[in-house]
Structure 1
Amino acid sequence: MRLASSSRDPFELDRLAEELAGRESANPLDDEHDTNGHDLPIYVPLSHDNSYLKSEVFDVEAFLLSRSYTSLPDLRSELRDYLSTLKEELVKLINDDYEAFISLSTDLRGEGARLNTLKVPLVDLKTQILESKRELHVIQDAIQEKLASRAVLREEKALLHLLLKISESVTRLESLLLIASPENDDMQQSPIDGSRAPNLNPAEDTVDDRTRGNRAKHLGRVATEYTQLLYHASKARQDNCVFVDEIQWRIDRIRSTLSSDLDHLFSTTLLALTDGKVDGKVSEVEKAKSIADLTECLRTYDAMGLWRDAEDVLRRDVVRRFVKKSIFPGALAAPASPLVPHTPFRSSTTPAFVNSSSPLPPRTPYTPFTSFAVKTPFRSNYGVSNASSTSPYAHLLDDPEDPLARLYTQILRFVERDMSRIMGIAESVALKSVSASRRDKLLVTSTVPLPVEKTHGETGGDGFQIMANVVWEEFGRAVMDELGHVVFAAGRPNEFRKHYEITQAFIRSLEFLAPSAHSVEAMREHQLYTAFERRWQLPVYFQMRWKEIVSKMEEALSTARVEMASSADKHSFASNQAAAVWVAITACWSAEIFISELSHRFWRLTLQLLSRFNTWLNNSLIPDEKFTAEKAAAAPIIRSATPVDGQSSENAAADDSILNQYATIILDVRSMNMNVLTLWQEEISMMLPEAAAEERANTEETLRQSLTSLTATTLPMSSHIVAILTKRCCDALNPVRSISSQFRAMSNKQMPKEPSYFVSSILRPIKVFFGIGVGHGPGSSLKEHFLEPYATDIFEAVAQRYVYLLTGMKKTEDSLRKLKRGNMKKPTFSLFGGGGQAKEDDGKDEERIRTQMILDVEAFGTDGQLLGVPLNKSESFKSLTEMVHAVDPPDNT
C-alpha cells in the first residue's frame, strides 16, 4: 500500500501539506502575525461606485496608480469589460423608456392651439393691473400733497405763534423798560421817533413796584427776556420773515435802553462801593446790598455778552478818575500824601533784613516770579483784604524815599482796596456762568450790536478781562504817556535799573492781586504790555553797562607787566589785572547791575572776560627768551644767591622779576578758577533762566572749558620757573670741581665728618622761592600745590648735573693718575677705586675725598627729601649714589 501510494505521489506532496498544516496549527500567533504583516492586495472590480470614474475631471494618473497591482493587459481587459457593461445598461435604459418617449410625442399633438388660447386673457389681465397701479399712484400723490400742505400750514402756524411771541416779548420788554409803545400808525417810524419815559429813581412814588424793589434783579429778568427775544428773532429771520425786519428798530431800542439802564445802575453801584458816604461810614446792610447789586449787574453783563461795556463803565467811573489824580507829569516830584501808607504789602513774613533803609544783599538780583503759582491768602471772599499782604515783592516797593515806589504803592493800594472786590465778583460770575459756552452764536449775529469804542490793544474774547483791559491798560498807558521820559530813561543806567526793578516788582505785585491765572495770562498777552516792555530799551542799558565794565578792565590790562595789588584791596588776587577781571565778572551778576532779561548777554560777557584775560596772558606773559631791563626794573627784586660764573646782576634781577610775576599770575589763575566756579554754583546757575538738564550741563561745560584754557596758560610759566630755579641750583654745584684740589692742599688732613659748605645752598633757590625758612618768597602761596612737583623736576635735573660734574672730575683724576705713573713709574690710588701701589698720603687723600663726596650726596638727598622729592623714584639720584659708592678695580700696570 505504501509503495502504491508513493507511486501515485512521487514527490510526497500530501505528506508535505499535512506537515505544513500541522505547523500552522501549532503556531497560530505566528500565523496571525504573518497575516497582519503581509497583507495581500484586494481585487476590486470596476463599477459605478469607483471614485475615480465618478469625478468631474478624470485623472488618468491617479486612476492608474490606484490599479498599480494590475498589469496593463489585465487593466485593458477590465476596462473593455466595464465598457461593455455600460453599453448593455444604456441599451436596457433606452428600451425601458422608449415606449414612454413615443407616447409623449403623440400626446403633444394639438397643444399649440390650446396654448395660444390661454395667452389671450393674460394680456387683458396685465392691462387691468397697470391701470390699478396708476390709480394707486394718483391717490398716493394726493395724500402726499395734502400732508405737505398741512405741514406748511403747521409751520406757518408755528411761525405765527413765534411772531406773536416776538410781538408780545417786545411789548413786554418795552413795558418793563418803561418805553412808550408806538401806535399802530407809527409802526414804521424810525427808532429815534419812539419815546421813552424811564424812571431810574427808586425813591419816587409814581414808579412801578418792580423798579422800586430791586432794580438789579429787575434788569436781570429783563435781560433774560431779551435773550429769549433774540433767540425767537433769529429763528424767524431764518424764514426770511419781514415782520422781524420791521420791528428790528424796536429790538435795537430795547437793547440800547437795557444797556443804558444797566450802565447807569452799574455806575451808581460802583460809586456807592468805591466812594461811600461823606463821613466814610457805610452800614453793613447798604454794603451788602451794593455788593448784591454789583453781582447781579455783572451777571447781566455776562448773560448779554456785554463784557467790554462793563469794563468801559468801570474804566470811566473808577479807574480813570484815580489815574488823573495820581499819574501826571509832575507826580514823581509831588510830596507824598500823609494818608498813603508806606506799602500795602507790609507783613510779618517779610525777611528780617528787608527794611526801608538797608540795601539788598549783594548779588541778589530780581528773579521773575509767576504770580499765579502762589496762593493769595490775604484775600477773602471777592478779593477783600482782611490781613497783611504776603506779596514776595513788598520789600522792593517799601522805600518811602523813592517817589516811583510811593506812586506804585499808592496804585497797588487802590487796586487792592477798590478793584480786588470787583475783579473777584466778576471772576466768580464767570466761573458760575455757562452762557459763554452754551450761548448760541446766532444770538450774536442776529442783531446789530451797538457801536462800542474799543481801546487799542484791548483783549477780546468771551468773559471779563478787568485786570488786562481796565487796570493794566489805564495804569500802563498813563505811566508810558505821563512818566515815560523819567521812568524809561536808559541814559542814566543806575536810575534806569532802579526804576526797572521797582516797576517789575509793581507788575508782579499787580499780578499777585489778579483773581486768577487766566487774568494774568490775558494781561501778559495784552498789546500794551508788550509795548510797555519794549519801552525799556534793555539793549541800550546793556551797552552802557558793557562799556562801563569793559573799560575799567581794559585799563588794567593795558600794561604788559604784572602790577601788584595794594594790601588795602580786599580781594583774593595778588595782581591788579586779575583783580580787575574778577571785579568785571562779579559786576555782571551784582544786584546793582544784573537784570534777569539780559542774563544771556551777561553770561556771554562773562565768557568774553575770561577769554580776554586768557589773551592778555598769552600776549604778555608767555615765557620769552628775551626780557628787557625795563620789565625787570619795574618789578620788585628778590635777592638770591650771589651771581657766579659771570652771571650779571641785571640777569639775576630779570630772573627774579620773572619768578615774581609768574608766581603771582599762577596764584591768580588758580584763584580765578576757584572763585568763578564758586560764583557759578552759588549765583550764576540760579540766575540764568531755567533750562533743560542737558542745556544746563552744556552751559557749565562751556565755562569749565574756558577755565581749563585759562589754566593751560600757566604751564609754560611753570616750566620757565623750573628752568630758572634749576639753573640757579646747578650754579651752586660748581664748587664740586674743586673738592679734590682743596683736600690735597689742606694741611690738616682729617677724615671729613660733615658735608661740604655748598651742599646746603644747592637747593636753596627752591626754598627761597617758596619762602621755606627765609620768610616770604614769590611762591609762598604756591607751596601747597607746587612745591613737590617743582622740587622733583629741579632735583632730577640737578642730580643729572651732579653726575655730569663727577664724571668729568673722574676723567680728570684718571688723566692725572696716568700722568704720575708715567713720570714716577709708580701706580697711584684712584679716587673711585684702588689702582696699584700709590703713596700712603695720596691714598688717604683719595679716601677722604670719596668720604666727602658720599657725605655731600647724602646731604643733597636729605635736602631733596625734606622738600618732598621721592628719592626712590629718582633714577638720576640713584645713579649718583652708585657712582660715589663705587670702587675701581686695582690697576696692575
Structure 2
Amino acid sequence: MAAAEPPAAPTAASVDSLAAKAASLALDGSSTLPLWFKPELFLEPAFSPTAYVADLRRYVPLETLSSELHAHLTALKNKLVEVINEDYNDFVSLSTKLVNVDGSLQRMQAPLLELQEKLEAVRSAISEQAGELASGLQRRQAVAEARALLELMQDTAHVMSKVDKLLGEVRAAGGAASEGVSPEELEARCRLLDRVASEVSRLQFYAARGQELEFMRALQPRIDGAAEQLQGSLDAALAATLGSQSPVALGVCLHAYAAIARPQAAEAVVRQTLVAPVVQRVVAEQKAKSPLAGPAGGAQLSEVLAAVSEGLKERCSPFLEHTLSQPAAAQAFNFLGGSLLAEVLAALEDSLPGMFSAGVPATFHANFQAAVRFLDSLEAFCTTQQQVEQLRASPAYTAWMKKWSLPVYFSLRFQDIGAALESKLSAATLQPAPPAGGGAAAQPTLQWAPSAAVWAGLQRCASPDIFLPQLADKFVRLALQLLARYAHWITAGMRQRSEAAAATAAAGGEQQGTAPGQQQQQAGEGGGGGGSSGNGWEVAASPEQLAGLRQDVDTLLAALLSNFVPQLAALLGSMGQEVGEAVAGAFGEAAEELEGAGAALMGAVAASLVDKSVVVLKQLRGIVATFRMTARALPTRPSHYVSMILAPLHQFLQAEVASGLSAEARQQLAAAVVVGVSSRYLHLADDTLSTVRKTESSLKRLKARQQGGEGGAATDTDKMIELQLFLDVQEFGRQAKQASVDASSLDSYRQLWRLVAPQEQAETISF
C-alpha cells in the first residue's frame, strides 16, 4: 500500500460551505444574542456592511457593535473547527485506500502510444501527396499562363492584320475624300470606320494587357499608327457628316470616336467645322462696324456675344439636339465646353485682349454680365442637370471663369463706396446733405451729408449696375459694414462729446454765466480737454443739429427695412429661402445698432439741455441768503426761477427741428432731461441743506456761550428754507408734468422729494 499522504488544505468552496453551515449552527434558538443583532442578514445576497453599520450606529454604540461582531466571529471559528473534525478520519484514510495507481496508468498509456504512431505515419504520407499535388498545380498554372500569353499574342497579331486589311479597304474606298459623296455612301463609309474602330479598340485592349511583353512593345508603333490613321479618316468623315447633317452617319461616327477613346478629337472637328466659322464671321462683322477696343468695350462685348449666341444657335442647334439627346454621346463628349466655349474664349482673347481687365469697374461689370448671359445660353442647350454639370466641369468653363478678376473688381468698388462715406464722416463739422437729384421721389429725405452718404452707399451695393450675384456675400457684408461704421461714428462721437464736457468741467472750464454747451464749443476751439476729439464735429454740434441727425437715423431705419432689405432680397431670391432669412436677420441686428446710435444722440441732446437748465437751477443757492439777510414771512409759493428750469426743454420741443422727431424720441428726450435735472437738483438741494444745518449748529453753539441769548430765530429760518425748497421741488414736478413726464415715477425725483418734504409727506408725492 502506498504511504498515506498528509491531508490537503480545504478549498475556498469547501470553506464557504463550512462557514455557512457553522453560521446556521450558530443561529440556533439557544444563542443569547441581542435583539438588534441579526446574523442571518449576513447571508443575504444584497448585504452591505457599510449600510448595516450606518443603520445600527444610530442606536447602538460602535464599541458594543464591535464586541458583538468579534464574539460572533469567535463562535463561527469554533463551529468551523467542529464541522471539519467530524469527517477528518475519513479524509485522512482516503489516500491509504488508493493502491497500484502507477500500474493502471501504464496499462492505459500503451494503446494510446500505438495510436499516436499510426496517426504520424498517415500524416507523413498525406503531406508527401499534398506536396506532389501542389507542384503539379504550379506546373499546370505556368503552362496555362504561357498558353494565355501565346493566345494573346496570336489574337493581337490576328487583330493587327485585320486592322491593316480594313484600313486598306478604307483607303481603297476613298480615304479622307468627302466631296461628291452621297448620304448612303457616307453612311457606309462611317460604318466601315466604326468597324475599324472596334478592332482598333480590341487591339488597344490587348496591348494594355500584354504591355510587359517584348512582342507587344515591338508592335506598339504599328498600333499607334493605325489609331492615328483611323482618327484622320474619322475626322474627315465627321466633317463630311456635319456638312450633310445625316443623323445616322453622325451617330455611327461618334460611336467610333468613343470606341477608340478620343472624344477630344471629335470636339476639335466640331469646333473647327461648325463653331469657328460662326465666331470668325461675327468678329469680322463687329470689326467692320467699329474697332473692338476702347472704353466702349463693354457694350461691344455684349453685342459680340449676343451675335455669337444667335449664330451658334442657328448653326449648331440640330447637331446639339441630336448629340445631347443620345445618352451615350452626351456622356462621352462635351461639345458645349470643348467646342463652343473653347472657340469663343480663344477668339475673344485674340480680338478683345483687355475685356477681362477690372481696371474700369463699370466696363468690367457690363462685360461679365454679358459673359454670364452667354454661359446661360449654352446651358439652355442642356436637357439634363448632368449635362449642365459636365459643362461647368470642363476645362474651357474653368478657364473662362478664371479670366474674370472678381476679387479685384470688388476691391475697387469697396474702395470707391467706402471712401465716399469716409470722406463725409471725417469732416470736422456736420455738412448739410446735398439736394436730391433725379428720381428723388423714392429717396428718403435726409438732412446731413453722412446720412446721405450711407444711403447712397447702400443703394450702390444693391444697384444692378454694380451688384453681381457671384459676389453677393461680399456686397451684403459691405452694406452691413457701412451701417456699422455710421452707427459707430455716432456713438463714438457722443462718447467723445461727453468726455470733452467732463474734461472741461474738471479743468475748471465752467465760467460764470456761460452755458455748458458754449463751454464745450470754446473748449473745442481751444483744443483743450477733449482728447483726440477736442476739435471734432461732436463738440461743435448744437442740440438742434444732433436732433436733425436723430431724424436721419429714424429715416434710415424706416428706409432700410421697407426699401433696401426687400430690394436686396429680390437680388438674392435665387439663392434660397435660408439665405434670405440670414440676410434679413443680419440687417435686423444692424437696425438695432442704429437704434442704439439714435438713443446716444438723444442722450447728448438731453445732456445739453440739462446743462442749460442747471444754469437756471443754480439760483437755488440764493434762497439761503434771501431768508437770512431779509425778514420774510413763511413762504407760500415757489421761487420765481423754478418755472424757468425746464424752459430750454420746452423751447426745444416747440422748435421746428423737434417737430420731425418721433413721439417716442420726444418722450425719451423729455424724460432724460427731467432725470438729469432731478439728479443735479438733488445734489444742489442736499448741499444747500447741509450748509444750512451746519450754519444753524454753529449759531446754536455761539448762542449757548452767550447767556440770555435766544436761539429760536435761527431755527425758524431753517424751517422756512426747507419749506421753500419743498415748494420749489413740488413746482418742478408740475413743470415736468407739463412736458409729459411723470416725475413721481423717476427715482432721482423721488429721492429729491424725500430730501426736502416734511416728514409726514415724505412718502406721498402730490403736486
**TM-score bucket (shorter structure):** 0.5 to 0.7
Opposite residue 419 of structure 1, the aligned amino acid is: C
Match in the other structure for 1:660? 544
Q: Within 5 Å, give how 1:281-680 maps onto structure 2.
A: 290-328=246-284, 330-331=286-287, 333-334=289-290, 402-431=299-328, 463-485=332-354, 487-565=355-433, 571=444, 573-599=446-472, 602=475, 609=482, 610-611=484-485, 614=488, 618=492, 622-623=497-498, 624-625=500-501, 646-647=513-514, 651=518, 658-665=542-549, 668=552
Candidates 185, 192, 195, aligned match of 1:224 = 195
Opposite residue 717 of structure 1, the aligned amino acid is: A
CA shift for structure 1 position 412: 1.9
Q: Counterparts of 1:79 and 1:302 in 2: how far apart (Å)?
A: 93
Q: Counterparts of 2:141 and 2:550 in 1: how far apart (Å)?
A: 106
In structure 2, the CA distance between the partners of 1:733 and 1:709, relative to structure 1 (3 Å rule), is same
Name the SS for the 1:219 alignment partner.
Answer: helix
Opposite residue 578 of structure 1, the aligned amino acid is: S
In structure 2, the CA distance between the partners of 1:729 and 1:329, relative to structure 1 (3 Å rule), is farther
Opposite residue 408 of structure 1, the aligned amino acid is: L
Opposite residue 356 of structure 2, the aligned amino acid is: F
Match in the other structure for 2:8? 61
In structure 2, the CA distance between the partners of 1:218 and 1:329, relative to structure 1 (3 Å rule), is closer
Candidates 643, 646, 649, aligned match of 1:760 = 643
Contact 1:323 1:475 in 2 (8 A): yes
Q: Counterparts of 1:568 and 1:248 in 2: how far apart (Å)?
A: 78
Opposite residue 348 of structure 2, the aligned amino acid is: V
CA shift for structure 1 position 478: 1.2
Identical columns (%): 19
Match in the other structure for 1:95? none
In structure 2, the CA distance between the partners of 1:63 and 1:152, relative to structure 1 (3 Å rule), is closer
**Larger helix proportion of the pair:** 2
Contact 1:622 1:713 in 2 (8 A): no
Match in the other structure for 1:727? 614
Q: Counterparts of 1:247 and 1:557 in 2: how far apart (Å)?
A: 76
1:495-522: CA deviation from partner (whole Å, max 9, x where unpaired): 2222222222322332333344444444
Q: Counterparts of 2:301 and 2:548 in 1: how far apart (Å)?
A: 48
Q: Counterparts of 1:327 and 1:468 in 2: how far apart (Å)?
A: 20
Match in the other structure for 1:769? 652
Q: Counterparts of 1:79 and 1:265 in 2: how far apart (Å)?
A: 107
Contact 1:810 1:831 in 2 (8 A): no
Opposite residue 463 of structure 1, the aligned amino acid is: A
In structure 2, the CA distance between the partners of 1:759 and 1:425, relative to structure 1 (3 Å rule), is same
CA shift for structure 1 position 856: 5.0
CA shift for structure 1 position 214: 5.5
CA shift for structure 1 position 323: 1.0
CA shift for structure 1 position 687: 6.8
Q: Within 5 Å, give how 1:226-245 maps onto structure 2.
A: 226-228=197-199, 231=202, 235=206, 238=210
Contact 1:770 1:777 in 2 (8 A): yes
Q: Counterparts of 1:152 and 1:658 in 2: how far apart (Å)?
A: 103
Match in the other structure for 1:875? 750
Candidates 674, 679, 683, aligned match of 1:791 = 674
Name the SS for the 2:332 alignment partner.
Answer: coil
CA shift for structure 1 position 465: 1.3
In structure 2, the CA distance between the partners of 1:222 and 1:509, relative to structure 1 (3 Å rule), is closer
Q: Counterparts of 2:474 and 2:258 in 1: how far apart (Å)?
A: 46
In structure 2, the CA distance between the partners of 1:497 and 1:333, relative to structure 1 (3 Å rule), is farther
1:103-124: CA deviation from partner (whole Å, max 9, x where unpaired): xxxxxxxxxxxxxxxxxxxxxx
Name the SS for the 1:497 alignment partner.
Answer: helix
Contact 1:725 1:794 in 2 (8 A): no
CA shift for structure 1 position 783: 0.8
Match in the other structure for 1:861? 733
1:750-804: CA deviation from partner (whole Å, max 9, x where unpaired): x96x766544322222222333xx5544995531433323323323433554565
Match in the other structure for 1:179? 172
Opposite residue 312 of structure 2, the aligned amino acid is: V
In structure 2, the CA distance between the partners of 1:534 and 1:616, relative to structure 1 (3 Å rule), is farther
Contact 1:405 1:502 in 2 (8 A): yes
Opposite residue 865 of structure 1, the aligned amino acid is: K
RMSD: 6.2
In structure 2, the CA distance between the partners of 1:421 and 1:826, relative to structure 1 (3 Å rule), is closer
In structure 2, the CA distance between the partners of 1:797 and 1:602, relative to structure 1 (3 Å rule), is same
CA shift for structure 1 position 325: 0.7
Match in the other structure for 1:270? 242
In structure 2, the CA distance between the partners of 1:408 and 1:165, relative to structure 1 (3 Å rule), is closer
CA shift for structure 1 position 470: 0.7
Q: Counterparts of 1:808 and 1:830 in 2: how far apart (Å)?
A: 14
Q: Which has the larger radius of gyration?
A: 1
CA shift for structure 1 position 330: 4.7
Q: Counterparts of 1:334 and 1:408 in 2: how far apart (Å)?
A: 15
Contact 2:175 2:233 in 1 (8 A): no
In structure 2, the CA distance between the partners of 1:796 and 1:505, relative to structure 1 (3 Å rule), is same
CA shift for structure 1 position 554: 3.8
CA shift for structure 1 position 467: 0.9
Q: Counterparts of 2:395 and 2:266 in 1: how far apart (Å)?
A: 20
Q: Counterparts of 2:729 and 2:91 in 1: how far apart (Å)?
A: 126
TM-score of the pair, normalised by structure 1? 0.53
CA shift for structure 1 position 651: 3.8
1:192-232: CA deviation from partner (whole Å, max 9, x where unpaired): xxx979787456xxxxxxxx746325522552355246526
Q: Counterparts of 2:694 and 2:95 in 1: how far apart (Å)?
A: 130
Q: Counterparts of 2:517 and 2:90 in 1: how far apart (Å)?
A: 135
Opposite residue 862 of structure 1, the aligned amino acid is: R
CA shift for structure 1 position 472: 0.4
In structure 2, the CA distance between the partners of 1:722 and 1:263, relative to structure 1 (3 Å rule), is same
Uncovered stretches (5+) of structure 1, i.e. residues with no partner: 1-47, 91-136, 181-194, 204-211, 274-289, 337-398, 434-461, 629-642, 835-845, 888-893
Match in the other structure for 1:34? none
Contact 1:813 1:831 in 2 (8 A): no
Q: Counterparts of 1:158 and 1:404 in 2: how far apart (Å)?
A: 58
TM-score of the pair, normalised by structure 2? 0.61
CA shift for structure 1 position 471: 0.5
In structure 2, the CA distance between the partners of 1:679 and 1:477, relative to structure 1 (3 Å rule), is farther
In structure 2, the CA distance between the partners of 1:881 and 1:622, relative to structure 1 (3 Å rule), is closer
1:15-69: CA deviation from partner (whole Å, max 9, x where unpaired): xxxxxxxxxxxxxxxxxxxxxxxxxxxxxxxxx9xxxx99xx9784389999965
CA shift for structure 1 position 318: 1.2
1:685-744: CA deviation from partner (whole Å, max 9, x where unpaired): 887889999998997799689769967975973674364144145146567568769997
Name the SS for the 1:594 alignment partner.
Answer: coil
Name the SS for the 1:593 alignment partner.
Answer: coil
Q: Counterparts of 2:723 and 2:238 in 1: how far apart (Å)?
A: 116
